[in-house]
Structure 1
Amino acid sequence: MSENRNAQYRYQVLDRCFSDWNNKYTIEDLLEIVNNHLYELEGQDSTIQLRQLRGDLNAIRKMLPNNVYLDAKPFEGKKCYYRYSEPNYSIYQNGLSVAEVNSLRSTIEMLGKYRGITGNVWLEDVISNLELRFGVKSDGENLISFQQNSGLKGLEYLSTLIDATINHQSLEITYTTHTGISSTNVLHPYYMKQYNNRWFIFGRIDGKDYIVNRALDRIEGISKSDVPFRKNDLVNFNSYFDDIVGLSVIIFAFGLTRRSISA
């Protein structure tokens, strides 16, 4: 990637962070986010240091109109987070809000599953252009398994759950089991699967160390949780279903037997 194109890509990534009023990005957070994107795109040689990042912030400030500022707001003692003074403002004026960009990221994730299939070479250009144009990129994880079926139940929650799974967002879910027991828990979502005309979300209940699944048609309500997301260190979903009948699995580890809790 040329030096100028590299800078434009960094500006796009930073621009999305500054537009996002749902999170507080410190200078350290911004450096990590930018370098993660650059590493995925071009490798280690394209990553930057803190001095270059501060130069990027100054360059973006010069692009702003007189009525918009890039503020460094103090919080938690000596820390500062960076944000545009106007919500959802973008120096690129692409017309997409943060929520819409997150939905676009989900679309890129789904389209990416068809990469490499004969006859779908055109997708490479489409996906790459979307990633570069809007500064969003699939994280490369295989997180969703689906079939083409119609008339599925619980579809009103599908988009929210896909976004949360891809973006590593913990959720507070109110759920009723087949026996009529209702409960509300924080779920760390890891994987989605369609089975027998039903959708299921797999993840970990906060504070637990085993996988549970929740049928979308038994979910009564979903909201974002402030509990920090806990990454999946329990199972590999690429092989999790290989020897499973239905959606329950017995895992033997360290002499312990654990069963995923089915709907």
Structure 2
Amino acid sequence: MSTNKNALIRYKVLDNCFRNPGKRYFIDNLIEECEKVLAEIDPESKGISRRQIFDDIKFMESSEGWSVDLERHKDGKKVFYRYKELSFSINNMPLNEVEIDQLKEAIDILTQFKGMPQFEWISEMVPKLSQGLSIHDSGNKLMEFESNEYLKGKDHLGVLYNALRYKKPLKVTYHPYQDENPHILTLHPYFLKQYNGRWFLFGFNPGSGKSDWNLAIDRILEIEELSIEFVENTEIKWDEYFEDMIGVTKPEGEEIQTIVLHFFGKTGKYIFTKPLHGSQKAKWMEENILEVKLDVIPNYELERLVLSYAESVKVIEPKKFREKILSRLEKAILLYNK
């Protein structure tokens, strides 16, 4: 049984090879594929022995692994390997003991960092990981986190993360919802951001000259790595970029403004305990009127947020933002009056 840190990576590579009907993978080919992937992750990684691959195969076939049904086909004196059922994949199997043990070890390590500066995210991540183990052990779901399993483009996240990590320029086929046809653009990826159940990719787009070009992941159709020099980010600190706004859209030329809102009744009590933004300052004007001040850049996401409270909120200032919300409400009323 393989226990080194790269074992799961090799299993995933072998799994892809075994389910590929278009190529014959002999032992030397399997070694080559594993070494190629490991070299991308760690350029200083050493080669893999034949014995290691044989041990990996043995483990994958065992009950401790995934009990894979692997066929050995002779070609002269050589043997190539292929799943009996090409639709099979270890990715579709329940967690095995190795994966469970590694998750438990990861949880134990992460828990040690809880409460430390820069590791606030662990308080949310650890319960998610623990929930996965609970499901495997008992089948009883104890918690549920907000996610959209039907969101398009989620399969791009792994590719995009690697492009960010290894600084790979990308050719992206992108189809904005307002355009009839998709178009192709070049992007040097810098940052991934999740907001309201969707993922967004930020980076430098040579065509626009902007370093905060924003693409919604669910509108990406195709991604291809480009063999050109990567343009480094020297302009934006992403931990500060989103501080002055709600969401992910930063309109060009807009400055931070003080947005004054009045919330009424129970909604006011809700907003008082659940601030809309880190800059929020709130005070009760009357028993049922909460005044909220936000120092943010007005954008589309802020408009959507305010409109979501419908009759429970009124925009007081600034005038331009107040008029924009009023205009949208008037258009909504026209729809109902038709």
Q: Computing the radius of gyration over CA atoms, which structure comes out larger, 1 or 2?
A: 2
Q: Which has the higher contact order (CA 8 A, sep 6+)?
A: 1
TM, length-normalised to structure 1 = 0.44
